[in-house]
Amino acid sequence: MLLPSRMNRIALLLCFFSLAAGAQEAPDAGTTPPSATAPQEPPAPPSRDEDPCLSEDDDAGDSEVLGALRLSIAGETRALADVELKGLERLSEQQVRALARIPARGPLTPEKAAVLLKRLARTGLFVKVTPTVRLAEDSTPTLVVTVEEQPYVTSVDIQGVQADELRDVREDMFRLPPYSTDDEDEDDATVTHLRIETESGKVEITATRGKDCPAPHPPRELLAHFEKGTFHPGFVWRGLPAALERAMDELQLEGYPLANLDATLAPDGRLEVRVDEGRVEAVEVRGVDEHVARQVREVLGIRPGDVLLRSDLRRAARRVEAEMPFLSLWDVETLPAPAMRFVEERDPSGARHYRPVAAEKRSKKRKKSGEEDLELSLEKLAEDWDREPDNAITTEGRRVVVYVRPRGPSFDVDLIPMHTQVTGFAPGLSTSLKLWDLRNRAHLMLDGALTIPLRWGGQRIAEDPEQTRLQRRLNWLVGTRVQVPVLRLAELGVQLYDFTDTFDRWRMGAIDSFLYSALLNRPDAEYFRRSGYSAFATWRFGTKWLAGAEYRRDSYESLVSFTPPFSLFRRDSAPFPNPEVDEGKMTSLVGRVEYASDAVRAEGVGSLFRSPELSLLQHDWAWPKKSALRSLLTVEVGSPELGGDARFRFWKVVSDSVLHVNTGRDDGLRLRVRVAGGTDLPAQKQEALGGWSALRGYAFKEFRGDASLLASAEYRRSLLGAFADVGTVHRGEAGWMDPRLGVGALLYLGDSVRFTMAWRTDERASLVPEARLLFVRTF
């Protein structure tokens, strides 16, 4: 047979350019998984009639625009006589034909040849698949496929990575194809497609069964992989560059943003991977002058030469926000780090070297107008979850770059939904204005609060219109504070006030007291009028210790509950008893020491409504993530020599300690011991037990005296909890009363919100418990 003419040779060449392009298509990451394990001895290659991938039904999906590929020689449509494989070294021809379903005999049309070539490339066993057509006289054309096998790895040595990350890096690097389970037919795999059309708002989800022509994944016996910590030699599926990229991605996912690696494959198959976890070369602060930048670098805690972890960046951001509140982290738009790919270089000895280079940007496929693609994958969700909320602290090369700027004045406004039986409904606002000094020398704070008693419900004090008018006065407070960091002075300030106050906030939070006063006429707090001024200074030593001193010069007035009670329910009940206080001018000095093992600088110091019974550290009383100890000790001494009335000479000590023992995410034990007492105490400073958080199950302040001892234990297990309170009161000359025990159960609806049932256990015990839904924890 004569060779075809020059024109037919060109046509034939163009035809097989298309075949080669189809064979070299990148592997599809979303292929349907086949069965888990291929047999040791591959079966004989299927014939044309047995191979479902070569069925004529495949032509049904051809495009209506693009016609089928044809092979024409001298004007005659021809088929391929056979497929010949070349370049195999470790793999046998029988294994490759079985895996890629290459028929043992022809004829084979060009379009079917393209399918075979594509399947051969998608096995992941070959670096290159090169098809050629061989023409000979007096014979039909033969497809000659020259392949280059992926590297065969006999052993692996990964250096420079921590033991905790080594296992994940190895498994991700030598990842096996997504085999299905042994009991699951590969043809039954389901592929789900999600289509979203934004213009019409249409969402279409379709699920299709796997095709009869599955992806040709090789059996695991041929592939390099780790199994139970042991390496099994084999071919690197989809090649070493892809495996190294996966290892790099795993290191970054484990929290090493500066990680890098390279590798060498020896001719005998020994693979050596060198990991550089990434060390910081410099720390750069932008947005402020060098004097402030130097302070920021000290607070960051990241030094040149340190191995950088992503968690280091998060902790550094929290430290800057906590210790330098006069600065704000500046979220800037930064260019994403370039994607990396690995290139292979071979030396004359046969060794292969792999090094990372910046990958070229790939052009995205053009989508039709109004149509979007949505990719759903666990890796994508994990990546989005782990992403930092801002780009204030980022990396450029091996430099850590921090973007900060001076913080402007901070202005906060909070609602005070005040409701008591001595004022009625008295809504108001509290405000705080903070003026920051960029040089961190002194920061000024201005505080204020105002509540307005409303005349709703016709409330009054029977036969005493003057007292009714006095109790409807405005409640107000103004103050100023200054913070001097260089002196460790957390606050130095003064307050002036004239408002309705209580010393019972250690029992029940303000929100709960206001709520149950409005609902049930049960505020569980006793109120009085306090007016005067206070001067105070508070020092903070490190993050855990606090010490303070306060001078108080107050005038006290008794208040009476209005009639009828202003509440949604129980309006026909008697007014809530609000006992008289010792009226007059009282002056005292208060000293305090506080400790909190879990305190951080981000916690504010100080309180708008200050009380010797309450901590100045603004704790979050939710269940902590780790065990913690919090302790408060205050000593108050009242003396007329300080400017008050002669009858107010007393002293009082309050010690309140809470230990949190964390045993799980929502499990733990909370222990509390509170001791308080003094001598010659005014009525408003007397001790009492009974009521919520102060001997639960008993009536509000059922036991009164000049000293008290309270111990509480509370255990939580997920949504349920149980508690026991034991308390006793010292009653002057009568001494200490017999201890009382209260027990109960809790249903947690959140870290602070809980439904509580409590029973007393003395001679007045009842099966019907006291019950409350409480929103704020006081310990």
| 8 Å CB contact between 730 and 677 | yes
Q: Residue 516, Cβ neighbours under 10 Å: how many?
A: 21
Q: What is the pLDDT of residues 57-102, one digit of tens each?
A: 444 333 344 344 456 666 666 677 788 889 899 998 888 888 888 8
Which tokens belong to 770?
A: 């006291």
In the block, residue with structure tokens 């666990």: 378
Rounded Cα distance between 204 and 185, Å, is: 27
Rounded Cα distance between 290 and 306, Å, is: 22
Reply yes or no on whether the pLDDT at 130 is more than 60: yes
In the block, residue with structure tokens 């010797």: 612
In the block, residue with structure tokens 């292929």: 31
- Report residue 744's pLDDT band, with 50, 70 and 90 as the boundaries: very high
Q: Which amino acid is at 136?
A: A
Residue 116, classified by CB atoms within 10 Å of its CB into exposed (0-12), middle (13-18) or buried (19+), is buried
pTM of the model: 0.67
Mean pLDDT computed over 99-110? 81
Rounded Cα distance between 33 and 189, Å, is: 7
Reply yes or no on whether the pLDDT at 36 is more than 50: no
Q: What is the pLDDT of residues 267-292, one digit of tens each?
A: 999 999 999 988 999 999 998 889 88
Which tokens belong to 686?
A: 């007397």
Looking at residue 572, what is its pLDDT? 85
Rounded Cα distance between 173 and 229, Å, is: 13
Q: What is the pLDDT of residues 525-568, one digit of tens each?
A: 999 999 999 999 999 988 899 999 999 999 999 999 998 888 88
Looking at residue 621, what is its pLDDT? 62
Rounded Cα distance between 691 and 770, Å, is: 10
Reply yes or no on whether the pLDDT at 193 is more than 50: no
Q: Which residue has the higher pLDDT, 390 or 26?
A: 390
DSSP string, 52-121: GGGSGGGGGGS-SSSPPP--EETTEE--B-EEEEE--SSS-HHHHHHHHT--SS--B-HHHHHHHHHHHH
SS (H, E, C) 556-569: EEECCCCECCCCCC
Query: In which region does residue 572 sit, left (phi positive, over 0), alpha (psi from -120 to 50) or beta (all else)?
Result: alpha
Percent of the chain with pLDDT over 70: 79
Looking at residue 73, what is its pLDDT? 63
Rounded Cα distance between 274 and 281, Å, is: 20
Strands 260-265 and 352-358: antiparallel
Nearest to 161 by CA among 229, 261, 249: 261
Rounded Cα distance between 572 and 506, Å, is: 29
Rounded Cα distance between 9 and 24, Å, is: 22
Mean pLDDT computed over 711-732? 95
Mean pLDDT computed over 615-642? 87
- Exposure pattern of 349-369 as b/e (b: 16+ CB <10 Å)? eeebebebeeeeeeeeeeeee
Rounded Cα distance between 348 and 462, Å, is: 108
What is the residue-averaged pLDDT of the chain? Answer: 81
The residues, any chain, with a CB within 8 Å of residue 546's CB and separated by 6 or more, are 490, 538, 539, 540, 592, 593, 594, 595, 596, 605, 616, 617
Which tokens belong to 32?
A: 């349907």
Mean pLDDT computed over 673-688? 97
Alpha helix ranges (H) inside 191-303: 240-253, 290-300
Q: What is the pLDDT of residues 367-421, one digit of tens each?
A: 433 333 444 444 444 444 444 445 788 888 889 999 999 988 999 999 999 999 9
Looking at residue 602, what is its pLDDT? 58
Q: Distance of CA 68 to CAs 11, 59, 82, 143, 756, Å?
A: 15, 8, 20, 18, 76
DSSP string, 309-339: -HHHHHHHHHHHHHH-TTEEE-----PPPPP
Rounded Cα distance between 515 and 699, Å, is: 18
| 8 Å CB contact between 576 and 500 | no
Cα 266 to the center of its chain, rounded Å: 43
Length of the chain: 779
Looking at residue 191, what is its pLDDT? 45
Strands 740-748 and 754-760: antiparallel
Q: What is the pLDDT of residues 350-360, one digit of tens each?
A: 899 999 988 76
Which tokens belong to 564?
A: 């009828």
Mean pLDDT computed over 718-735? 95
- Report residue 138's pLDDT band, with 50, 70 and 90 as the boundaries: low
Q: Residue 105, Cβ neighbours under 10 Å: how many?
A: 11
- Exposure pattern of 457-467 as b/e (b: 16+ CB <10 Å)? eebbbeeeeeb
Rg of the chain's alpha carbons, rounded to an integer? 39
| 8 Å CB contact between 635 and 590 | yes
Report the DSSP beta bridge partners of residue 108: 80
Looking at residue 83, what is its pLDDT? 85
Q: Which residue has the higher pLDDT, 308 or 606?
A: 308
